[in-house]
Amino acid sequence: MDSFSIKGGVPLHGEVTISGSKNAALPILAATLLTDEPCVLRRVPDLSDTRFMVQILKSLGASATFENGTVTVHAKKITGFADYDLVRKMRGSICIAGPLLGRLRKARISLPGGCIIGARPINLHLKGFQALGAKIKIDGGYVDAVAKKLIGAVTFLGGRAGSTVLGTANVMMAATLADGVTVIESAACEPEVVDLANFLIAMGAQISGAGSPTITITGVAKLHGAEHEVIPDRIEAITFAAAAAATNGEITIKGARPDHFRAVIDKLNEANVLVERSGANLVVKRKGKLKSVDVTTMPYSGFPTDAQAQLMSLLTLAPGISIITERIFESRFMHVSELTRLGADIEIEGPSAIVKGGKPLSGAPVMASDLRASAALIIAGLAATGTTQVNRIYHLDRGYEQMDVKLKQLGARIQRVEE
């Protein structure tokens, strides 16, 4: 497994361009299964997850090419069976269920894998499919969804940790080809859901309310091919902002959408980190000494769980006590033990991490447990003295496009060690 070797203590300076959003690209790639006409998607990040999704589309019978950030898919004839060996590798693959059910009225999909960050059941996806008239059977690690006919319905997709993003996407995609009107209550409001809705509308779907808790879909008989550009990755932008602040550097972030992460910008400002517009770009730098802040993760438009680990790395450097409370996933503090290996002083109390910041970090070998934990350890390594070895970076390659290359361009002393 590859690792990163980081010689820390160098402030980041320069410009970085944000890639397309992985979390938007995956359901949009899946949505190409809804039509038998060609679709062209631009600004698709070249990641192991997006590559896996293209493989899944091909395994279902679609033709697909992926070159220079552009994916062209033609799903003229497809099957409703998704292979276990592909689907098990990534949780996002579950979003092919909605398009298959919508177009073929049947889907057989292996239960998906992904990062181990806590329970992420698909019961709300299945609840939405059942509301549309599908019969669901789970057997031998597979989900079978079959419907003679899909009928529009009202369905509530709120869960104990808030709305389900992929569940909203799945039901919305299936409903585009259902008879009548479907209303999704307690729908996820994330920008990635809006981006998917915009692509579906470009394909001829009738959707209103995306970005609000109530989405209305009026089914159509057929969808056609379309072209679409994926939104920039807000979590990547947040990660680079945290890295700049942690190293006491100053960077210009190009291509980001600050309206997609206002809650994070607010917390960075509170921590004495300046994030300001410069034309179409964002400039990030410290305003002075870092300050401790309290953070609670919430569904959009609150502070995202996907940015919690990165901010924690930054707050280990802020004098005082910061309290980070995780309300979305119960196992998303696995990076804490690795941060303490670098000298961080963090204690876990129930759903909260108590960060006693202000102590210097020093390099050490650490192990990444999931995608965002990988980013957090890299940020800490960039700020630490000495050398930090971040192992198991295959997690990172799932969600960040050429992160080591981009960091080098900002002056970081980081090397990929291939094994």
Phi, psi (rounded to 5 degrees) for 85: -60, -25
User: How many other CB atoms are there within 10 angstroms of residue 311's CB atom?
Assistant: 29
Strand 106-110 with 206-208, pairing: unpaired
Closest C-alpha to 296, from 260, 268, 326 = 326
Contacts of residue 109, defined as CB under 8 A and 6 or more positions apart, other chains included, come to 82, 87, 93, 94, 96, 97, 100, 142, 143, 145
Which one of 39, 95, 115, 189 is the catalytic residue? 115
For residue 301, cis peptide bond before it (omega within 30 degrees of 0): yes
Active site residue 115: yes
Q: Rounded to an integer, what distance in angstroms lies between the CA atom of residue 311 and that of residue 314?
A: 5
Q: Which residue has the tokens 């209103």?
A: 208
Which of the 8 DSSP states describes residue 259?
Answer: G
DSSP codes joined into one string, 198-226? HHHHHTT-EEE-TTSSEEEEE--S-----
Q: Is 37 helix (H, G, I), strand (E, B) or coil?
A: coil
Length of the chain: 419
Which stretches of 188-318 are assigned E, i.e. beta strand?
206-208, 214-218, 227-229, 250-254, 273-278, 281-286, 295-296
CA dist., res. 372 & res. 333, Å (int): 10
Residues with a catalytic annotation lie at 115
